[in-house]
Structure 1
Amino acid sequence: MRQRNSTSAPVPHAARIRAMARASRLRGWGGVAAMALACALTALFTLLPLHRVSDRPDTGGRGVAHATPAAAPDCKDPEASLKPSGAGGATIEAIKKKGKLVVGIDQNSYRWGYRNPNTGELEGFDIDLAKRIAAAILDDPDPSKVVFRAVPTQERIPAIDSGQVDMVVRTMTINCDRIKQVDFSTAYFETSQQVLVPQGSKIEGFDTLKGHKVCVASGSIAEEALKSQGHPAEDTITVANQLDCLVRLQLDEAEAVVTDGALAAGQAAQDPTVKVLEDTLDPEYYGVAMKKGADDLVRQVNQVLEDYRDDGWQQSYDKWLAADLGKGSPPAPKYKD
């Protein structure tokens, strides 16, 4: 799916940060005091309390093709998952017994998982999917039955391993390294890595990133992609969440952001002074991540996705993503033999 710049109104906190940056146009806001203010604003909007959060503490078109990091030799098809079933099992019963599904999400990704500043509610493509899964597992459409927990990019897998969340629905790419640590559902979205730059930037794509400060989220596929292309570590800025990269770009501390094209489109929708370049890497697929060995839960989620592709996926896509990404459809599921 080729990204297109959106003219949608920016999310208010991004607009406030951008307005202050323009008001004091000196590079980096002209000093430590201004930087402290920017960081405070970022922290404020990143750590806003979530609706229905448990009391446990938070952890914290195609363009030009390029090679992605080599897959492990024993990994042939990481997107293949267990065949769907609604039979249930020990994991499903434990979730039903506690009467709630705890889902790790992002509250900073516009269009995917973010807090609507007008209503205070969490919204987005991933949020819709999480609610659909919770309703199916708990046999109850009441949205209060799903507990959302904001999880930083690098804490997604630890949050699953520790039992802080039952699953993660957070634009999480399925790959060979991650399937060794968690189990995934079938893919529910296709994207690829792309570059976000200010309007007027001379950066044209991945081949022209060297020598420029590039921001990525720690623990992301983008971070791996930069390393695989030999991007100098001293020119790579790593942050906890993607929204922080947009702020770094607005403050002229970064010259480009590398992230999933689907997320980059959301950032361009927040700030019309930036754009998404057409250059892409190989296709990637988002999946719902769950604890290793929770086969009954994986099968149940795959059953939900079977139904969701026919009734729900397109409606959610059209509502949240079509304005920025154009026409779209869900990827076909792949199952293990």
Structure 2
Amino acid sequence: MQRIALVALTGLLVLTACAGADPAPTSTPGGTGTTVSLPPTSEQASGSPTIDKIKARGRMVVGVADNLPGVSRYHQDGGKHSGFDIRLADLIATGFGLPKDSVRFRSTTAATRLSTLESGDVDLAFGGIKTSKQPQIGLVGPYLPVHQDLLTRKGTTAVAPGQPVCVVADSGAAEKARTVSTNLVEERNGDACVSALRSGAVAAFSGDDLVLRGYAAAENGAFTVLGRSLSTEGYFIGIPARDRALRAKLVEILGKAIGDGSWAKLYQESFGAPAPTPPSVK
């Protein structure tokens, strides 16, 4: 009798334990009873490693020039950048779903712009990029149409062959500038070329028309842009070449900005002139 009672008590304890246990996982059809994780939603992953890294960090780091008036210029007195590239970067960050003021700018030069992207120091590279010979770097754009031109001292209407013409080293301006003069002087940046022009060391400064007009405006009429249009080009955004989802998203954002008038508004506010025909972005 005692044995029967003991067995009954043991069975009751087993039933009680089973009732308090978590239910067994439900098997999926044809499965093994293991838990299946759902794929991440679009809010969790964009398909772009670059965008996902930016959103996880909470800010976007962009490499820009610090001495291109109207395009991208760093102001030491206020510690901030200004210009078309800066406004466009903010617009792109919003398109990525980032909050306002989430972009950090890193000053780069023509020589270092793409290498900082390759090393991962920046997420995107702006600042007068026209070509890339590095297979790991892709270009999206053009986002800004430009023409190579000549900046001279007021009263100068032409540059004679053999007169010294300043170009920024590694900017790509030398090839077209040689059609004007074979006597080229290379400087580290546009500010140095402007100083050489102001002092009379060179007869002209050859570079992108938008930048030259910015320098002319800053000199209060001492300089003039000749309007030679030595070439027709555009500025591009440098990205990791393999990130196709990033390219598609940037093309979408830029296309929307052009279509709804935002691009023209940025141009007008940055350069003080009516926007030209928008570029075809790809």
TM-score bin, normalised by smaller chain = 0.7 to 0.9
Equivalent-residue separation in structure 1 for 2:180 and 2:268 (angstroms)? 38
Match of residue 218, structure 1, among 169, 184, 198: 169
| Alignment-mate amino acid for residue 114 of structure 1 | R
CA contact (8 A) 2:55 2:98 kept: no
CA contact (8 A) 1:188 1:287 kept: yes
Higher RCO, 1 or 2 (CA under 8 Å, sep at least 6)? 1
Alignment of 1:322 with 2:243, yes or no, is no
CA contact (8 A) 1:215 1:254 kept: yes
Tell me the SS of whatever aligns to 1:111. coil
Equivalent-residue separation in structure 2 for 1:331 and 1:241 (angstroms)? 26
CA drift at 1:250: 1.3
CA drift at 1:119: 4.6
TM-score by length of 1: 0.64
Alignment of 1:188 with 2:143, yes or no, is yes
Tell me the SS of whatever aligns to 1:128. helix
In 2 relative to 1, CA 306–214 (structure 1 residues): closer, same or farther, beyond 3 Å?
same
In our comparison, the structure showing a higher alpha carbon Rg is: 2
Equivalent-residue separation in structure 2 for 1:201 and 1:230 (angstroms)? 14
In 2 relative to 1, CA 330–322 (structure 1 residues): closer, same or farther, beyond 3 Å?
farther
> What do the CA deviations read for 1:242-300 (whole angstroms, capped 9, x no partner)?
12211221122221101011111111111120100011123101111112222222222
Equivalent-residue separation in structure 2 for 1:181 and 1:266 (angstroms)? 33
CA contact (8 A) 1:322 1:328 kept: no
Q: Which has the higher helix share?
A: 1
| Alignment-mate amino acid for residue 306 of structure 1 | G
CA drift at 1:307: 1.6
- Give structure 1 stretches of 5+ with no counterpart: 1-85
> What do the CA deviations read for 1:11-47 (whole angstroms, capped 9, x no partner)?
xxxxxxxxxxxxxxxxxxxxxxxxxxxxxxxxxxxxx
Q: CA RMSD in A?
A: 2.3
Alignment of 1:99 with 2:58, yes or no, is yes
TM-score by length of 2: 0.76
| Alignment-mate amino acid for residue 225 of structure 1 | K
CA drift at 1:305: 0.4
Match of residue 90, structure 1, among 22, 46, 49: 49
Cross-structure match for 1:142 = 100
In 2 relative to 1, CA 312–119 (structure 1 residues): closer, same or farther, beyond 3 Å?
farther
| Alignment-mate amino acid for residue 142 of structure 1 | K
Match of residue 285, structure 1, among 234, 241, 247: 234
Alignment of 1:130 with 2:85, yes or no, is no
Matched positions, count: 236
Equivalent-residue separation in structure 2 for 1:299 and 1:236 (angstroms)? 40
Equivalent-residue separation in structure 2 for 1:211 and 1:200 (angstroms)? 19
CA contact (8 A) 1:157 1:181 kept: no
Percent same amino acid at aligned positions?
26
Match of residue 115, structure 2, among 158, 173, 179: 158
Equivalent-residue separation in structure 2 for 1:131 and 1:275 (angstroms)? 32
Equivalent-residue separation in structure 2 for 1:236 and 1:181 (angstroms)? 31
